[in-house]
A and B are shown apart, each in its own frame.
Chain A
Amino acid sequence: MSVFEYAPAPESRAIVDIKSSYGLFIDGTFVDPLDGGGFKSINPSSEETLAEVADAGSADVDAAVAAARRAFDTVWGPMPGSERAKYLYRIARIIAERSRELAVLESLDNGKPIKESRDVDLPLVSAHFFYNAGWADKLSHAGYGSDPRPLGVAGQVIPWNFPLLMLAWKIAPALACGNTVVLKPAETTPLSALAFAEICQQAELPPGVVNIVTGAGGTGAALVSHPGVDKVAFTGSTDVGRLIAKSVAGTSKKVTLELGGKAANIVFADAALDQAVEGIVNGIFFNQGHVCCAGSRLLVEEPVAEEVLAKLKRRMGTLRLGDPLDKNTDIGAINSSEQLARIKELTAAGTAEGAEAWSPPCELPDSGFWFAPTIFTGVSQAHRVAREEIFGPVLSVLTFRTPDEAIAKANNTPYGLSAGVWSEKGSRILWAATQLKAGVVWANTFNKFDATSPFGGLKESGYGREGGRHGLEAYLNV
């Protein structure tokens, strides 16, 4: 108990208007699903129902793909890039103008702290639309030939960890390149995608250019295996990514997959330690660790291991877990009971295998899904907590003695999405970056995202790049 207790500082939820039920967004309007099925989307911090959402069946997916095809053939495909850009700029501006409302909605449906949805997610969402809008009439200068063509209809399936941001990563480049889309948001976080559908209406985007079908795994399977889809883009688990790769094998569909990770965050003894500790915290506790590129394995050089751990534990003691809408909350709710169960299962395995778990004193709310920030020490490479993606606020701490050992341990994983290097020595950073088998290597920072920078994985973390000039390739016939 500190003498300086921060009083509650909740962001008002009155700014967002959530309807009691939502249909599917097909051909520019909200329609009921053909078989009438639906499910509830809940607030993971309180378990209250936020809205009823339609469950799209295969006939609904047919209708959405048909609408997207029609829009591609008649309106969006033939439209000059300079005209497409105007719609994308308009969408980007509306998102920026409504960002507070969308941030509150995102935190309600996902459980992430409002400071993250407000300061990270929403600014990046509009940035991705602004950035890709700029490419729409410049594709002949993007390095993909003098007149690169769109692919057609893109079927896109996105995860629940950054619902609106993942939507932006998928939809903005697809539309800029002249494709139309059918997007399925995750079943636990559909609301911001449905708010985006309303923004498409507000921007007077031609009907059928963007279609949103809500549902669970079955809806996603129907979408990616649909014969009318020319391009499949998926972000999510490696297991589902494998199924998708199998389902599209032998077809002409172009595929990008952004899958799991088990990133190493390497702290050399000559690092700026206080800032490295911030980077470790940001790497694993940002968004409750629900980040595919999370720095979930800390590799720290032995001479400073004790000091880094002491600083890390002290810093973890200041993390504030609780109401996602409180502006002072650092750690929000786990997105679902299923995810919470998985985190608990893996951390129990960590303890059973002999690693030592530590969490700061941390009171968990009574309702909702919560997990205290946790670090495991005494971890060996063989432990499950060092190998499997936990996708929660759980850090495994390992040590190394030499730079070569650090690289060998960092690369010793089937994944290859991201990595971090902390050192005040520039030459060591450059050397490490060339040795690390990861799609993204951060130097003296972590979890930094930018619309202009490509993002994607190596090995079982997937293929294809999203963002930047490179991200356009996935949506062009090259």
Chain B
Amino acid sequence: MTSLLAVDAVARARSQPGVDQVGLEQRAAALATRSIKTTAKKWALDMAISMVDLTTLEGADTPGKVRSLCVKATRPDPSDRACPSVAAVCVYPAMVPVAVEALAGTGIHLASVATAFPSGQAPLEVRLADVRAAVAAGADEIDMVINRGAFLSGRYEQVYDEIVAVKEACGDAHLKVILETGELATYDNVRRASWLAMYAGADFIKTSTGKVSPAATLPVTLLMLEAVRDFRDATGRQVGVKPAGGIRTAKDSWRYLVTVNETCGPDWLSPDWFRFGASSLLNDLLLQRQKLASGRYFGPDYVTVD
């Protein structure tokens, strides 16, 4: 990527054009009216399944729960071998060793949240140690949270420097930077934070932890897609986008795919560049997939509860 001094990166992030809230939300609402039928629906369902970061981030997570989730990730629909597997499994660092074993040989990525997820309110050294531990245990993707306190108080340089430090701690692991858009509150902030994260080395920018409401919305994802599109135009480097939290239905998922398609184009229509952070979404995708293939609904007992 274009290497920039921190001061230049921060200046460029600050000078991004504003976002008109009304206009952005209208555009997202218009994209949501696209009618996805038959062959388009079939393609969208399989693509969405292959983009899921199947997630469990609970205090109550156990090795058994994580193993079960890994099996689901590999064979989402046991009744249909043609059903694609998901992109990744996403767990807390303590669960990474279990997931590494369960996913061995499947080709499914293993993402771990880190940096004192979800608040990030720990000393930087602790957050970096969290990242190193997750990577050492075998995670190949790290989902970090930005320092919202620093961002909201205007200390963009600190936010930038911390992301750079986390990126370095990741080594070869891919870095997804969670902006926690629900706490940034304004679209102007989301755009600036997106650019800060990309300049600092993010491989993906991600909307939310899922622990704060609102989590992912279509307008905020649209805005972040505009940011990665413009960032590639400006620097030549492509960055992915991951909406996370609150996306529960298949219909929601293809509204996001339509938004990717009409904002960034086909280059981003791949699990390498777009992910859904979700847990319950997968079962609705599977239900709709069965319905499309057979013409009827089997009902919730025909998909697995994990």
For the complex formed, measure the closest distance between the CB of B19 and the CB atoms of chain A, giving whole angstroms.
Answer: 5
For the complex formed, measure the closest distance between the CB of B106 and the CB atoms of chain A, giving whole angstroms.
Answer: 25
Contact residues in B for A318 (Cβ distance below 8 Å):
262
Give the docked Cα–Cα distance between A8 and B47 (Å): 19
Q: Interface digits, A1-33 against B, CB 8 Å rule (1 contact, 0 not)?
A: 011111111000000000000000000000000
Residues B41 and A279 in contact, CB atoms below 8 Å apart: no
Q: Tell me whether A404 is interfacial, beta carbon within 8 Å.
A: no
- Please judge, given known A-B contacts A7-B41, A115-B33, whether A444 and B22 are in contact too, CB under 8 Å: yes
Interface hits, A419-452 → B, CB 8 Å: 424, 444-445
Contact residues in A for B26 (Cβ distance below 8 Å):
278
Residues B36 and A275 in contact, CB atoms below 8 Å apart: no
For the complex formed, measure the closest distance between the CB of A99 and the CB atoms of chain B, giving whole angstroms.
Answer: 16
Give the docked Cα–Cα distance between A424 and B16 (Å): 12
- Residue on A with the closest CB to B187? A272
Residues B37 and A8 in contact, CB atoms below 8 Å apart: yes
- Please judge, given known A-B contacts A119-B33, A327-B33, whether A4 and B22 are in contact too, CB under 8 Å: no
Give the docked Cα–Cα distance between A414 and B47 (Å): 53
- For B261, give its contact among A4, A9, A270, A272 (CB under 8 Å): A4
Contact residues in A for B23 (Cβ distance below 8 Å):
272, 274-276, 278-279, 444-445
Q: Interface digits, A259-280 against B, CB 8 Å rule (1 contact, 0 not)?
A: 0000000000011111110110
Give the docked Cα–Cα distance between A7 and B43 (Å): 10
Residues A445 and B22 in contact, CB atoms below 8 Å apart: yes
- For A7, give its contact among B22, B40, B258 (CB under 8 Å): B40
Q: A4, A272, A444 — which one has the most chain B CB atoms within 10 A of its CB?
A: A4
Q: Tell me whether A328 is interfacial, beta carbon within 8 Å.
A: yes
- For B27, give its contact among A4, A270, A271, A275 (CB under 8 Å): A275
Number of A residues, CB within 8 Å of B: 25
Residues A272 and B19 in contact, CB atoms below 8 Å apart: yes
Interface hits, B272-303 → A, CB 8 Å: none
For the complex formed, measure the closest distance between the CB of A18 and the CB atoms of chain B, giving whole angstroms.
Answer: 24
Contact residues in A for B213 (Cβ distance below 8 Å):
none
Contact residues in B for A272 (Cβ distance below 8 Å):
17-20, 23-24
Give the docked Cα–Cα distance between A53 and B265 (Å): 46
Interface hits, A205-261 → B, CB 8 Å: none
- For B44, give its contact among A4, A8, A424 (CB under 8 Å): A4
Give the docked Cα–Cα distance between A328 and B41 (Å): 14
Give the docked Cα–Cα distance between A328 and B258 (Å): 11
Contact residues in B for A278 (Cβ distance below 8 Å):
23, 26-27
Give the docked Cα–Cα distance between A318 and B41 (Å): 19
Give the docked Cα–Cα distance between A278 and B28 (Å): 11
- For A4, give its contact among B24, B33, B37, B40 (CB under 8 Å): B40
Contact residues in A for B226 (Cβ distance below 8 Å):
274
Residues A7 and B257 in contact, CB atoms below 8 Å apart: no
Interface hits, A327-362 → B, CB 8 Å: 327-328
Give the docked Cα–Cα distance between A19 and B28 (Å): 39
- Residue on A with the closest CB to B260? A4
- Please judge, given known A-B contacts A275-B27, A444-B22, whether A5 and B17 are in contact too, CB under 8 Å: no
- Please judge, given known A-B contacts A278-B26, A279-B23, whether A2 and B17 are in contact too, CB under 8 Å: no
Residues B20 and A3 in contact, CB atoms below 8 Å apart: no
For the complex formed, measure the closest distance between the CB of B13 and the CB atoms of chain A, giving whole angstroms.
Answer: 16
Residues B40 and A6 in contact, CB atoms below 8 Å apart: yes
Residues B40 and A274 in contact, CB atoms below 8 Å apart: no
For the complex formed, measure the closest distance between the CB of A429 and the CB atoms of chain B, giving whole angstroms.
Answer: 12
Q: Tell me whether B39 is interfacial, beta carbon within 8 Å.
A: yes
Q: Tell me whether B38 is interfacial, beta carbon within 8 Å.
A: yes
Contact residues in A for B235 (Cβ distance below 8 Å):
none
- For A274, give its contact among B19, B22, B265 (CB under 8 Å): B19
- For A328, give its contact among B35, B39, B43, B47 (CB under 8 Å): B35
Give the docked Cα–Cα distance between A105 and B226 (Å): 37
Q: Tell me whether B96 is interfacial, beta carbon within 8 Å.
A: no
Contact residues in A for B64 (Cβ distance below 8 Å):
none
Q: B23, B39, B40, B47 — which one has the most chain A CB atoms within 10 A of its CB?
A: B23
Sample 19 A-B pairs with CB under 8 A, ordered by A number. A2-B261, A2-B269, A3-B43, A3-B266, A4-B40, A4-B47, A4-B266, A4-B269, A5-B39, A5-B43, A6-B34, A6-B35, A7-B38, A9-B37, A270-B17, A271-B17, A274-B24, A444-B23, A445-B22
Known: A115-B33, A270-B18. 6 other contacts (CB 8 A): A2-B266, A2-B269, A274-B19, A276-B23, A327-B33, A424-B17
Q: Which residues of B contact A (CB under 8 A)?
A: 17-20, 22-24, 26-27, 33-41, 43-44, 47, 226, 257-258, 261-262, 265-266, 269
The 5 lowest CB-CB distance pairs between A and B, nearest first, are: A275-B23, A9-B35, A272-B20, A275-B20, A327-B35
